[in-house]
């Protein structure tokens, strides 16, 4: 019998009432609970019943410190260069057998393989941690109702909460750039609402009669086994549009040859073809604005501009539309709503040689 097991009764002592333990959940019986076990002995002498004898034994349940930090989802968080408030999502669960506080730390890796297989190549900025506000916000999704935190206050046992690591993405990044982020939680003393509790120390040496503390956590991505901490990783992967622009021209007709072998003489009609191509594997480019200044030696052919046409063998087809084009001398302009990754869109117009 350990020193924590206190022999409370003996043969002939008065019975002691049973003190019930708290219900058992996944985290186990609540730390500090006194578990009492009573025994009764009835016997006879010479066939005559004698008085009942009782004994009792009690011990205090020790404290198991355990927690789990998990990434929510199984894919990288896609971001674009210059994006603000890019979100990675985690879950923290208090699997200890006591209400505790948890200190939070968000960090970034420096090179190496990120959570989803990419190679870390940049750092995000303005890294913050938010707790999901389930009472007034959108549950499970980051929104303005969520609370900026540096620790979690008085987290009940067996209670998972959603946490968001939120950061800003630098401009000028290429498709495929990766930033690895990690979230670590460390158990702290609970019991004082509104303030982060003190660091917890594991009980050394033999079991005592008091409420001892045992660290039961496993190692996460940046913490050790049985250190009262746990951590998980996620990453941001840049997906951006990479546009290339090509401009060609061809002579359509001239005043003397018509459309048969026309030459670039005064009065000839020139057709310009502007191709905007988006590299495969990136993101769609949206609100693509194309502006072309017509040289002073040319006169724009009114109503000739077409946008969003197709391309054959690198040449504009005349299947575009006038909608979305404009001419405000000397600029011909056109707007393409979307150029998908791997796609090409066009602006076509004509002018005459002065």
- DSSP codes joined into one string, 38-95: EEEE--EETTEE---EEEEEEEEPPEEE-EEEEESSSS-EEE-TT-SSEEEEEEEEE-
pLDDT digits (tens, 9 = 90+) for 229-269: 999 999 999 999 999 999 999 999 999 999 999 999 999 99
Q: How many whole angstroms separate alpha carbon 33 and alpha carbon 17?
A: 15
Say yes or no: 110 and 44 in one domain.
Answer: no
Last residue of a domain, one of 16, 43, 61: 61
Q: What is the pLDDT of residue 31?
A: 85
pLDDT band at 308 (very low <50, low <70, confident <90, very high): very high
Q: Is the pLDDT of residue 318 over 50?
A: yes
Q: How many whole angstroms separate alpha carbon 248 and alpha carbon 210?
A: 85
Domain assignment present for residue 41? The answer is yes
Q: Count of domains in the chain?
A: 3
For residues 21 and 272, the model is more confident at 272
Say yes or no: 114 and 251 in one domain.
Answer: no
Say yes or no: 90 and 207 in one domain.
Answer: yes
Among 105, 97, 214, CA closest to 156: 97
Say yes or no: 31 and 45 in one domain.
Answer: yes
pLDDT band at 26 (very low <50, low <70, confident <90, very high): low
Total Cβ atoms within 10 A of residue 123: 15
Span between the terminal Cα atoms of the chain, in Å: 109
Q: Is the pLDDT of residue 322 over 90?
A: yes
Domain assignment present for residue 232? The answer is yes
Q: Is the pLDDT of residue 22 over 60?
A: no
Domain assignment present for residue 253? The answer is yes
Q: What is the pLDDT of residue 6?
A: 34
Say yes or no: 213 and 79 in one domain.
Answer: yes
Candidate from 106-115, 186-195, 207-216 with smallest mean pLDDT: 207-216
Say yes or no: 207 and 269 in one domain.
Answer: no
Q: What is the pLDDT of residue 325?
A: 96
Say yes or no: 164 and 296 in one domain.
Answer: no
Backbone φ and ψ of 307, nearest 5°? -130, 155
CATH classification at residue 139: 2.60.40.10
Q: Is the pLDDT of residue 9 over 50?
A: no
Contact by Cβ (8 Å): 100, 94: yes
Say yes or no: 215 and 119 in one domain.
Answer: yes
Contact by Cβ (8 Å): 333, 287: no
Among 172, 334, 322, 321, CA closest to 245: 334
pLDDT digits (tens, 9 = 90+) for 198-219: 999 999 999 888 889 999 999 9
Q: Is the pLDDT of residue 181 over 60?
A: yes
Q: How many whole angstroms separate alpha carbon 249 and alpha carbon 228?
A: 70
Last residue of a domain, one of 179, 204, 238: 238
Percent of the chain's residues with pLDDT above 90: 80
Say yes or no: 106 and 222 in one domain.
Answer: yes
Taken in order 260, 261, 266, 271, is the CA torsion positive or negative?
Answer: positive
Total Cβ atoms within 10 A of residue 268: 19
Say yes or no: 40 and 26 in one domain.
Answer: yes
Q: How many whole angstroms separate alpha carbon 176 and alpha carbon 281?
A: 9
Among 175, 179, 174, CA closest to 111: 179
Q: Is the pLDDT of residue 313 over 50?
A: yes
Domain assignment present for residue 29? The answer is yes
C-alpha distances (whole Å) from 83 to each of 87, 127, 207, 285, 337 are: 10, 13, 54, 15, 20
pLDDT digits (tens, 9 = 90+) for 120-152: 999 999 999 999 998 877 888 999 999 999 999
Give the mean model confidence (pLDDT) for residues 161-175: 96
Domain assignment present for residue 1? The answer is no
Q: Is the pLDDT of residue 2 over 70?
A: no
Q: How many whole angstroms separate alpha carbon 305 and alpha carbon 322?
A: 6
129, containing H or E segment: strand 125-131
Q: What is the pLDDT of residue 118?
A: 95
Q: Is the pLDDT of residue 17 over 70?
A: no
Domain assignment present for residue 279? The answer is yes
Task: Give the mean pLDDT of the chain.
Answer: 90
pLDDT band at 14 (very low <50, low <70, confident <90, very high): very low
Contacts of 123 (CB under 8 A, 6+ apart): 108, 179
- How many Å is the Cα radius of gyration of the chain? 37
Last residue of a domain, one of 61, 87, 106: 61
Q: How many whole angstroms separate alpha carbon 150 and alpha carbon 130?
A: 8
Q: Is the pLDDT of residue 304 over 60?
A: yes
Contact by Cβ (8 Å): 165, 105: no
Domain assignment present for residue 280? The answer is yes
CATH classification at residue 330: 2.60.40
Percent of the chain's residues with pLDDT above 70: 93
Say yes or no: 146 and 286 in one domain.
Answer: no
What domain range is 93 assigned to?
65-238
Say yes or no: 184 and 284 in one domain.
Answer: no
Backbone φ and ψ of 283, nearest 5°? -100, 165
Q: What is the pLDDT of residue 312?
A: 87
Domain assignment present for residue 318? The answer is yes
C-alpha distances (whole Å) from 89 to each of 164, 255, 274, 317 are: 5, 67, 42, 46
* CA of residue 109 relative to chain centroid, distance: 15
Q: What is the pLDDT of residue 33?
A: 87
Q: What is the pLDDT of residue 281?
A: 85
């Amino acid at each position: 019998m350990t020193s924590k097991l206190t022999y409370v009764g003996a043969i002939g002592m008065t019975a002691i009432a049973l003190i019930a333990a708290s219900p058992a959940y996944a985290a186990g019986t609540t730390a500090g609970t006194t578990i009492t076990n009573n025994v009764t002995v009835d016997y006879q002498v010479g066939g005559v019943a004698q008085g009942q004898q009782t004994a009792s034994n009690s011990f205090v349940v020790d404290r198991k410190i355990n927690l789990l930090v998990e990434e929510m989802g199984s894919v990288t968080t896609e971001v674009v260069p210059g994006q603000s408030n890019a979100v990675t999502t985690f879950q923290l669960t208090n699997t200890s057998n006591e209400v505790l506080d948890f200190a939070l730390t968000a960090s970034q890796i420096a090179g190496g393989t990120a959570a989803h297989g990419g190679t870390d190549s940049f750092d995000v900025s303005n890294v913050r941690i938010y707790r999901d506000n389930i009472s007034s916000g959108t549950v499970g999704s980051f929104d303005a109702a969520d609370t900026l935190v540096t620790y979690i206050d008085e987290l009940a046992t067996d209670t998972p909460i959603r946490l968001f690591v939120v950061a800003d993405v630098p401009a000028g990044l290429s498709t495929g750039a990766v930033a690895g982020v990690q979230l670590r939680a460390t158990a702290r003393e609970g019991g004082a609402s509104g303030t982060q509790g003190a660091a917890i120390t594991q009980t050394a040496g033999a079991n005592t009669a008091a409420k001892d503390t045992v660290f039961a956590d496993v190692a996460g991505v940046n913490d050790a086994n049985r250190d009262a901490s746990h951590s998980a990783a996620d990453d941001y992967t840049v997906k951006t549009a990479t546009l290339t622009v090509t401009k060609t021209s061809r002579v359509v007709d001239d005043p003397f040859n018509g459309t048969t072998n026309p030459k670039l003489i005064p009065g000839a009609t020139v057709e310009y073809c502007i191709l905007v191509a988006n590299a495969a594997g990136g993101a769609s480019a949206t609100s693509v604005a194309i502006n072309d200044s017509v040289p002073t030696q040319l006169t724009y052919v009114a109503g000739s501009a077409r946008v969003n046409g197709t391309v054959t063998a690198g040449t504009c087809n005349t299947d575009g539309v006038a909608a979305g084009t404009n001419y405000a001398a000397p600029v011909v302009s056109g707007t393409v709503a979307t150029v998908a990754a791997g796609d090409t869109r066009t602006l076509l117009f004509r002018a005459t040689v002065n």
